[in-house]
Amino acid sequence: MEKLLDRITAAVSEAFVNCGYEAEYGKVTISNRPDLCEYQCNGAMAGAKKYHCAPIQIANKVAESLKEQELFSEVNAVNPGFLNLKLAPAYVQEYLQGMADDERLGCEKTANPKTIVIDYGGPNVAKPLHVGHLRSAIIGESVKRLGRFVGHKVTGDIHLGDWGLQMGLIITELKERKPDLVYFDESYTSEYPTEAPFTISELEEIYPAASARSKEDEAYKEQAMHATYLVQHGHRGYQAILQHILNVSVTDLKRNYANLNVEFDLWKGESDAQPYIPDMVEKLKKEGFAYESEGALVVDVKEDTDTKEVPPCMILKSDGASLYTTTDLATLVERRKLFDPDEVIYVVDKRQEMHFIQVFRCAKKTGLVKPETDLEFLGFGTMNGKDGKPFKTREGGVMRLEYLISDINEKMYQKIAENPEISEEEARETARKIGLSAIKYGDLSNQASKDYVFDIDRFTSFEGNTGPYILYTIVRIKSILNKYQAQGGDLAKGRIPVAENDSQKTLELTLARFNGALENAFDELAPHKVCAYIYELANAFNKFYHETKILGEENEEKRADLVAVLQLTKRVLETCIDVLGFEAPERM
């Protein structure tokens, strides 16, 4: 369905044209004075200069011509030249019935579906997930779902950090602890045992231990660097260990991400891009883009309009080793080969912005990606504690994601368990769902690029702009619908009614904005706009519910119609939270 706002703009633009003005002045926006009107047009003010008259004259003329439109119940021209508009309730009713009858709630799939790769998650193997990984997972997952809902072909890639010194460190430490492992045997070939030589907990202990030691022990660090070199240059035994590290880590990561309702299509990593590096470097050299500077191989990426310094993009270090930039460039080459994407979106900490400016510019300039490929950096801010500093455990350490989640689930469980009717099992599952809504909504309701304070008490509250409040609203509707059915009501019977009062009208108008809200949120890669929309919708619903007798409505037909509004509200809210990556329980 065409967006309601577009329909209104079309009608007002037509009126401008009929009055002898240009159509572009007829742009309509949602009113910023809801006490006066629902929509407004400020075009008369903009056009006054061009048409050499007072804005109010234009507004009056257009208002007069709009009065015949069935779209509006009220059109007012007010000083100095605003057009204040109210929609005809019957028009809104018809629009909503169209939504209710449509499987996709009036949100058409895009006419130009794009192939998009989203790079998010980005955990490093052999290290537990910590709160620093939360935002990329939550925001990336939501952008992926939004893109799919709008109709694009979206592939989510976790892009594991599985290449680098951490591998050499683990191997070195393992060699000290278990020198008899077959992998360290010179004669080792590829027939390695399938059993991993460590568990995930061992791995998570080995890595930090090795990392700490390398900072004090220079010889140990040399050894680790050499091991890294060997694993990257075909040492069979070491590569077998690398494979074990990957397997053990990925199994654990999958479990952790599943707890967050986060699902990746691809479990590729930095290591997958390595085979593309030699040819890529060759090409950059041959075509004259890469040159040697102080021993290193670099590509200039600065532009005349830069306001801050953009250093050259380094392709190889002076010892010939590749870097983070090299890997990201090679990953673009790989993605082009495998997916030929129209767009690649990176959901990464905004402190990495300069790295991506360099990578994007280098990829474009050298033709590693097509000129029309859109490279987007969706940089997010830091998740802070209540003290305004990066979120830490009470002891001041880095908080493991698992612990954070179980803390919140426990907190939610305590609240749910107060209800004696709910079984232990249901209470646990419900707590998990509400807990997840608290974490995700708490994050997503902020503009991604901003830092925010992770305030558990606020996020888990059932009141205010929170995930649990949204779930509470959905559960409330579910419970009314259940009661309605228990009383013999038929959910298929009602039609959306013409709004009879302000709170119903507000609810219906808010529902009608659904398709616009989602399209807009994707265009701007802004899940927070979905949050803002459902918060408004939940408030509109609760106000309506407070003021309206529903199950108590005596007229059977009218009751069925009110129930139709409830069902539509529920579907819209459920679709939106699915896009945000969480779900509602049956009761709470």
The DSSP call for residue 448 is T
Residue nearest to ligand ARG (CB): 122
Residue nearer to ligand ARG on the CB measure, 158 or 434: 158
Alpha-carbon distance of 561 to 550, in angstroms, equals 9
Q: Is 383 in the site for ligand ARG (CB under 6 A)?
A: no
- Least distance in Å: CB of 135 to ligand ARG? 12
Per CB under 6 A, the segment of 119-127, 247-255, 539-547, 548-556 that binds ligand ARG is 119-127
Q: Of the two residues 166 and 223, which places its CB atom closer to ligand ARG in the complex? A: 166
Is residue 204 close enough to count as binding ligand ARG by CB under 6 A? no
Q: With CB under 6 A as the rule, give the number of residues binding ligand ARG.
A: 8
Q: Quick one: which segment of 118-126, 212-220, 337-345, 377-385 binds ligand ARG (CB under 6 A)? A: 118-126
Q: How remote is the C-alpha of 39 from its chain's centroid?
A: 29
Which of 92-100, 117-125, 389-397, 449-457 is the region at the interface with ligand ARG (rule: CB under 6 A)?
Answer: 117-125
Note whether 385 and 394 are within 8 A (CB): no
C-beta closer to ligand ARG: residue 114 or 127: 127
Give the shortest CB-141-to-ligand ARG separation in angstroms.
Answer: 15
| 219 three-state secondary structure | helix
Q: What is the dihedral of CA 517, 521, 526, 530, to 10 degrees?
A: 30
In angstroms, give the least distance from the CB of 355 to ligand ARG.
7
**Residue 119 Cβ, how far from ligand ARG at the closest point, in Å?**
5
Considering beta carbons, is residue 124 or 430 the nearer one to ligand ARG?
Answer: 124
Tokens representing 6 are 């577009």
Q: Nearest Cα to 436, choosing from 253, 576, 584, 251?
A: 584
Beta carbon of residue 136, minimum distance to ligand ARG (angstroms, whole number): 7
Work out whether 124 is an interface residue with ligand ARG (CB under 6 A): yes
List binders of ligand ARG among 138-197 (CB under 6 A). 159, 161
The two beta strands, 28-30 and 39-41, are: antiparallel
Q: What is the dihedral of CA 123, 128, 133, 139, to 10 degrees?
A: 80
Taking CB under 6 A as the rule, does residue 257 contact ligand ARG? Answer: no
Per CB under 6 A, does 119 bind ligand ARG? yes
User: Least distance (Å) from ligand ARG to the CB of residue 281?
Assistant: 18
Among 328, 443, 519, 561, binds ligand ARG (CB under 6 A): 328
268: contact with ligand ARG by CB under 6 A: no
Q: Are 23 and 10 in contact (CB under 8 A)?
A: no
Q: With both helix axes pointing from N to C terminus, report the angle between 467-486 and 527-547 in degrees, rounded to the nearest 10.
A: 40
Q: Which is nearer to ligand ARG, 141 or 519 (CB)?
A: 141
Task: Tell me if 529 contacts ligand ARG by CB under 6 A.
Answer: no
Q: Take residue 80 and report the two structure tokens written for it.
A: 């100095």
> Among all chains, which residue has been given the structure tokens 């698992």?
402
**Least distance from ligand ARG to the Cβ atom of residue 267, Å:** 14
Q: In the complex, what is the shortest distance from the CB of residue 312 to ligand ARG, in angstroms, rounded to a whole number?
A: 19
Residue 272 touching ligand ARG (CB under 6 A): no
Nearest to 502 by CA among 465, 546, 472, 557: 546
- Residue 269, interface with ligand ARG (CB under 6 A)? no
The amino acid occupying position 456 is I
Quote the CA–CA distance of 149 and 110 in Å, as a whole number: 9
Tokens for 75? 């059109």
Task: Print the SS3 string covering 460-526.
Answer: CCCCCCCHHHHHHHHHHHHHHHHHHHHCCCCCCCCCCCCCCCHHHHHHHHHHHCHHHHHHHHHHCCC
Nearest residue (CB) to ligand ARG, 54 versus 375: 375
Beta carbon nearer to ligand ARG, 127 or 148: 127
122 lies in the binding site for ligand ARG (CB under 6 A): yes
Pairing of β 452-453 and β 383-384: parallel
**Does the protein bind ligand ARG through residue 348 (CB under 6 A)?**
yes
Binding site for ligand ARG (CB under 6 A): 119, 122, 124, 159, 161, 328, 346, 348
